Amino acid sequence: MNRHGVIVDTNVYGAVSMKSLTALIEGQIVDRIVRPVGRMLFPDRIGCGDDVEYFAFTIRYDGGVGEEHHVDRDIRVDGNGERIACDVIDVDGPCHDFELKEHRDASIVTLNINLNLPEKGERYDGSEVFFREFPWNDGHGKDRRDPSIHEKGRGNDVGTVRFSPGMAIIHLGAHRHGSLPISTPPGEKGTDNGKRYNLVIWLFGADGDVRIAPYEKDDHMNVMQRWHGCNHTKEYVFGL
């Protein structure tokens, strides 16, 4: 994964370390959106300290495959068993991400934003993100599923999401997911289309810690803590 993506971090060697970009990600996206919204959506999963650090990176899928494309590609399988699309220039021609196998993230919560620019003709087909069953019972705490779901025989595959440009998904890192193969839209073979660009942000605890055990209701963060963290000292009065 991430054959053509970049890490956005001022402290990692080889990463994109543009201060304005990291400030935007940290100040506007992580602090103002991912943390408070993640805490609000998953109150039984995210507690004080579980989402204090982040890791941001971009990904690019490229589905231009076949003879119609300007470069011939063939589909190979990499060391992880993932299919990749490789330029047939020579045996070691560059390879491109094409799909993403089912996995969990090394995060408590993940934000994934589609960066495609439709005005630049960045269109693609396929590449839906699929999700498996919500991790109600991952070996911790009691299984809080609605039993009627099982009675209805609902399977393990809960749904797929198709990204439109600008759209974001926020999900638990523990929620198993992956991405279906990408392709060039019909009638656009031979163009540069068939690519998907996304920015992914993982949140986790200090030293990369990812908590799994759910919290009891009495231990959920309150509204004040969700927005200001658990160590705030400022008096806060709603409506002022």
Ligand X SMILES: O=C(O)CCC(=O)C(=O)O
240: tokens are: 């002022």
Nearer to ligand X, 55 or 221 (CB): 55
The reply to whether 198 sits near ligand X by the rule CB under 6 A is: yes
129 contact, one of Fe ion, ligand X, none, CB 5-8 Å limit per kind: ligand X
* Nearest residue (CB) to Fe ion, 73 versus 177: 177
Using a CB cutoff of 8 Å and minimum separation of 24, what contacts does 85-94 make? 94/3
Q: Measured from the CB of residue 71, what is the shortest distance to ligand X in angstroms?
A: 22
Is residue 203 within the footprint of ligand X (CB under 6 A)?
no
Residue span 38-77 as binding mask against Fe ion, x where in contact by CB under 5 A, dash where not: ----------------------------------------
What six digits make up the tokens of 67?
């003879």
231 CB-near residues (< 8 Å, 6+ apart):
none
Q: Is 99 in the site for Fe ion (CB under 5 A)?
A: no
Q: In the complex with Fe ion, which residue's Cβ is closer, 70 or 162? A: 162
Instruction: Answer whether 134's CB lies under 8 Å from 157's CB.
Output: no
DSSP 177-209: EEEPPEEPPTT-TTSS--EEEEEEEEEE-GGG-
105 in contact with Fe ion (CB under 5 A): yes
The upper half-sphere exposure of residue 61, i.e. CA atoms within 13 Å in the direction of its Cβ, equals: 29
Tell me the Ramachandran region of residue 111: left when phi exceeds 0, alpha when psi lies from -120 to 50, beta otherwise: beta
112 binds ligand X (CB under 6 A): yes
Shortest approach of Fe ion to residue 179 CB, angstroms?
A: 8
Phi, psi of 21, deg, nearest 5: -75, -45
Contact, 179 vs 109, CB < 8 A? Answer: no
Contact flags string 72-101 toward ligand X, x per CB under 6 A: ----------------------------x-
Q: Annotate 109-177 with DSSP letters as a single string.
A: EEEEEE---GGGT---EE--EEEES--S-SSSS-----HHHHHTT--SEEEEE---TT-EEEEETTS-E
| Cβ proximity to Fe ion, 16 vs 169, nearer residue | 169
User: At closest approach, how far in Å is the CB of 177 from ligand X?
Assistant: 6
The pattern of x and - marking residues 150 through 189 that bind ligand X according to CB under 6 A reads -------------------x-------x-x----------
Binding residues vs Fe ion (CB under 5 A): 105
Binding residues vs ligand X (CB under 6 A): 59, 100, 105, 110, 112, 129, 169, 177, 179, 198, 200
